[in-house]
Structure 1
Amino acid sequence: MPSHIFARLGLWQDDIDSNLASVAATRKTAAMHMGGESHQFHAMDFLVYAYLQSGREAEVKRIIDEVKAMAPIKEEGMDFDGRAYSLTWFPVTEALELHHWSEAAALEPVPDAKPAMRGITYWARAIGAARSNDLQAARKDVEELEAIQKALQSDHNKYEAESITDSLQQARAWIAHAEGNDQHAVEMLRTLAEKEDASGASGNHEMLGDLLLGMNRPDQALTEYEADLKTAPNRFNGLYGSARAAEMADKSEKANSYYAQLVKVCDGSNSDRPELSRAKALLAQK
């Protein structure tokens, strides 16, 4: 699937074009009663991500509303509910990518969602609550996530149970930070980032960068943001985080370069994200 390559390379418009074509093809075959209607959710997943990286948040809301309006889709031989997954994952992605922590903390599990999907929601809630300094809510959400993991283990669902382990550690790290235990928070996220390096995945270096930047350690934060951009180029938050960390570390040339790259990635968008507005304002002063 070409869009996988486009996403890994941060080629957002190519990614968007590819997945729009995929959605159109899926709907054409469904209209011809050829099945495969649920395949569109995979393409929509990529669209949501690409739109968020390129400052096209209105398109994300349109997709979420579109999925909500759909009737349940049941296909023979399919045990996976793509619509339920999308109703879970798309709002989670939107809230976390936009750093709308209070919205993340208020997310509700999709009715009749399977345990692993409920786990995704409680993971987002825990991080949102912790980053909103609502420790009581964050701890409660972690307890829910722990209970889901134990239930999956009891059902011998090893893969899904293990997938929750890293989510729990991320949530606990942000709780530790909110409690003032910054060193423990850094250690937990550092462990995840090192684990990530071995697998070629991404995300934890950026999260560690957010933590370090909030602790006023911009040089260390910049190192983490740049590490994440190596495996996830042109991510909105990675570019802005790198720019902001460089700015705070008095590395103005590097900061301006990252701000300019962010503006270029979002060229043509109507985004009102404060990070993008700030990048444009700072570049206009040069």
Structure 2
Amino acid sequence: MRISSLFLLHLLLVVNGWCQPGDSANHAGAHDSEEKLGTVSFPTSCSAEVQKKFERGVALVHSFEYAKADIQFQEVAAADPSCAMAYWGQGMSLFHPMSDRPTSQDLKDGRHLVQQALRTGAKSQRERDYIGALSVFYQDYAMRSHDKRVAAYAAAMEKVYRRYPDDHEAAIFYALSLLAAAYFDESLKNEKAAIDILTPLLNGLPDHPGVAHYLIHGADSPQYAKLGLEAARRYAGIAPSSPHAVHMPSHIFARLGLWQDDIRSNLAAVEAARKPDGKFRIGPHQLHSMDFLEYAYLQTGDDRKAKAIVDQVLATGPEDVDDSENGYFHNALCAFPALYALETRRWKEALALQAPADVEPFDKAITYWAHAVAAGRLHDRTAALAALKQYNAMTRLTRKSSLAYYATSLQNGHDQALAWLAFAQGKNQEALRRLRSVADDQDTVGKGEVELPAREMLADMLLEMNRPEDALVEYEKSLQTDPNRFNGLYGAARAAEQARQPEKAAGFYAQLLKNCDGTADSGRPELARARNLPMQK
């Protein structure tokens, strides 16, 4: 499966929240002269009066600002009813290829819009081909699965791409379709194909939002993250008026362990999404950026700032949450405190966490997963077994729900819970075997960006089994796929010390201290120990 993260389950929903209507600014200056969404050139046969508005809509689509894009395309259709591509744009605004699946109403509306585009009649074969490709996604939606319709759309967009080799938008939308079709595929074949299409365009179209954005998505794995770094450096500057564009580079920064870049990116994204009155309210963009901020602060030993984020979320009442963010907010109520407790090694605190009663079963699964890990660390076999049973119950409820496809994302958590139960029961070989299987899977496709690496857990187990040489091997592997993690570096240093490899230990401690430079008030005992070692003086 392409998505393994418990903490990022609501990425399947959050983009819909990001794209709620708000104060619209206009690409190319027709609405707000200070708005910057990047530069898009998408020639159409529509009237000259609406061309810039149409291109602004496409720019908004490329930064996943779908609701604003929909409003813009509606304005185009109102100004030029003969512009068939305006209805195509509205249909694209309902698709959301990299996030939540369209609702039944979205699919019904999308089919109607495509039919309206076909009835209106595009004036060029190229436009008819774009409309025809999108119609494939909405066709027979009640009878064909979402995955099959996405794959069919990608195949249709490939034909458009090959028919119009000089059409950059065809290449960019085809690359996006490849990424959408690969959402639950572990091979990374489509991701590499998308990267190969987009990379040459990065310099040729340096101000295009879709090129940089989709390169980041394509490279969002340990295997390809470095290929997305240049796009990550550029994207926020291309489209600073999109909070999503300001945040998105942090996906690559987190993959590469560039914590200060990650922190700056998400602080800027939170600021870009702030309400005009400056008051705190959980709306589009805040939670996702806060999710990344908590994780990055924990990697730099800044527990105080990480805990402040957790406390702020837990203290937020439902009246201060936009309706669009309720799903992600419920997820955060479980994920944020679980991450904090586990990353700071507060095992009893993690075991005591309680999920709110009114959240979805797949949200509660995060809490029970945290219980399983903590119980394993505490060698509490009774609590570990109870956590596994509760986790499995939440998985069954998810399979029976309208969001049954989320259950796939719970498999890795289930395997980890089994591993920690075996560890608590003293079945060390079984524990290692189960956790190694998850780790091997993550080595290729990666974990969620704000998730604990299974291989680091495997190394922790080995170190506790008094096998420091084996633990060091696993820590070093983990740091290759998830570089600069606080606990990974500290664990590697401890394993190297116990394996009588002082030079390696010194290197890991030095990197840990470098990452945490400027966090002088950290209460982490690991940092205090690293600072007081003779080798660091």
Moved more, 165-174 or 91-100: 165-174
Deviations 1:241-270 (A, max 9, x none): 111111111111000000111011111111
Deviations 1:63-116 (A, max 9, x none): 12222232325546x375232222211100001111111111000002301111
Check if 1:6 corresponds to 2:224. no
Specify the code of the residue in structure 2 equivalent to 1:236.
Answer: F
Check if 1:217 corresponds to 2:464. no
Specify the code of the residue in structure 2 equivalent to 1:273.
Answer: R
Check if 1:47 corresponds to 2:293. yes
Equivalent pairs, count: 283
Q: Partner of 2:357: helix, strand, or coil?
A: coil
> Map of 1:22-41 to 2, 5 A cutoff?
22-28=269-275, 31=277, 37-41=283-287
Could you say if the C-alpha distance between residues 278 and 180 of structure 1 is closer, same or farther in structure 2, counting changes exceeding 3 Å? Answer: same
Check if 1:86 corresponds to 2:332. yes
- Check the 8 A contact 1:209/1:225 in 2, yes or no: yes
- Check the 8 A contact 2:282/2:325 in 1, yes or no: no
Q: In the TM superposition, what is the alpha-carbon distance from 1:125 to its structure 2 partner?
A: 1.1
- Check the 8 A contact 2:283/2:321 in 1, yes or no: no
Q: In the TM superposition, what is the alpha-carbon distance from 1:137 to its structure 2 partner?
A: 1.6
- Check the 8 A contact 2:399/2:405 in 1, yes or no: no
> Map of 1:180-259 to 2, 5 A cutoff?
180-201=426-447, 203-259=453-509
Check if 1:174 corresponds to 2:174. no
Q: Partner of 2:285: helix, strand, or coil?
A: helix
Specify the code of the residue in structure 2 equivalent to 1:238.
Answer: G
In structure 2, distance between residues paired with 1:139 and 1:19: 38
In structure 2, distance between residues paired with 1:110 and 1:283: 47
- Counterpart for residue 265 of structure 2: 18
> Map of 1:251-270 to 2, 5 A cutoff?
251-269=501-519, 270=521
- Counterpart for residue 526 of structure 2: 275
Deviations 1:155-208 (A, max 9, x none): 364432122221121122112112111011111111111112232337111010
Identity of aligned residues (%): 49
Specify the code of the residue in structure 2 equivalent to 1:246.
Answer: A
In structure 2, distance between residues paired with 1:139 and 1:95: 20
Q: In the TM superposition, what is the alpha-carbon distance from 1:285 to its structure 2 partner?
A: 6.5
Structure 1: any 5+ residue segments left out of the alignment?
none
Q: Partner of 2:366: helix, strand, or coil?
A: helix
- Check the 8 A contact 1:242/1:258 in 2, yes or no: yes
- Check the 8 A contact 2:372/2:417 in 1, yes or no: yes
Q: In the TM superposition, what is the alpha-carbon distance from 1:58 to its structure 2 partner?
A: 0.5
- Check the 8 A contact 2:270/2:290 in 1, yes or no: yes
In structure 2, distance between residues paired with 1:155 and 1:84: 16
Structure 2: any 5+ residue segments left out of the alignment?
1-247
Specify the code of the residue in structure 1 equivalent to 2:256.
Answer: L
Could you say if the C-alpha distance between residues 28 and 138 of structure 1 is closer, same or farther in structure 2, counting changes exceeding 3 Å? Answer: same
Moved more, 9-18 or 255-264: 9-18
Q: Partner of 2:345: helix, strand, or coil?
A: coil
Q: Structure 1 or 2: larger helix share?
A: 1
Q: Partner of 1:81: helix, strand, or coil?
A: helix
Q: In the TM superposition, what is the alpha-carbon distance from 1:274 to its structure 2 partner?
A: 1.2
- Check the 8 A contact 1:193/1:205 in 2, yes or no: yes
- Check the 8 A contact 2:282/2:321 in 1, yes or no: no
Could you say if the C-alpha distance between residues 113 and 46 of structure 1 is closer, same or farther in structure 2, counting changes exceeding 3 Å? Answer: same
- Check the 8 A contact 1:92/1:121 in 2, yes or no: yes
Specify the code of the residue in structure 2 equivalent to 1:257.
Answer: G
- Check the 8 A contact 2:506/2:536 in 1, yes or no: no
- Check the 8 A contact 1:54/1:266 in 2, yes or no: yes
Q: Partner of 1:230: helix, strand, or coil?
A: helix
> Map of 1:65-104 to 2, 5 A cutoff?
65-72=311-318, 73=320, 75=322, 78=324, 80-104=326-350
Could you say if the C-alpha distance between residues 268 and 136 of structure 1 is closer, same or farther in structure 2, counting changes exceeding 3 Å? Answer: same
In structure 1, distance between residues paired with 2:392 and 2:347: 21
Could you say if the C-alpha distance between residues 219 and 155 of structure 1 is closer, same or farther in structure 2, counting changes exceeding 3 Å? Answer: same
Out of 374, 378, 384, the position equivalent to 1:128 is 374
- Counterpart for residue 111 of structure 1: 357
In structure 2, distance between residues paired with 1:180 and 1:4: 37
Specify the code of the residue in structure 2 equivalent to 1:250.
Answer: R
Q: Partner of 1:28: helix, strand, or coil?
A: coil
Specify the code of the residue in structure 1 equivalent to 2:525.
Answer: P
In structure 2, distance between residues paired with 1:149 and 1:74: 27
Q: Partner of 1:277: helix, strand, or coil?
A: helix
The normalised TM-score by structure 2 is 0.50
Moved more, 175-184 or 45-54: 175-184
Q: In the TM superposition, what is the alpha-carbon distance from 1:8 to its structure 2 partner?
A: 1.4
In structure 1, distance between residues paired with 2:489 and 2:514: 11
In structure 1, distance between residues paired with 2:534 and 2:522: 17
- Check the 8 A contact 2:376/2:384 in 1, yes or no: yes
- Check the 8 A contact 2:300/2:516 in 1, yes or no: yes
The normalised TM-score by structure 1 is 0.92
In structure 1, distance between residues paired with 2:345 and 2:302: 15
- Check the 8 A contact 1:263/1:280 in 2, yes or no: yes
Could you say if the C-alpha distance between residues 205 and 32 of structure 1 is closer, same or farther in structure 2, counting changes exceeding 3 Å? Answer: closer
- Check the 8 A contact 1:256/1:283 in 2, yes or no: no
In structure 2, distance between residues paired with 1:61 and 1:279: 22
In structure 2, distance between residues paired with 1:79 and 1:46: 16
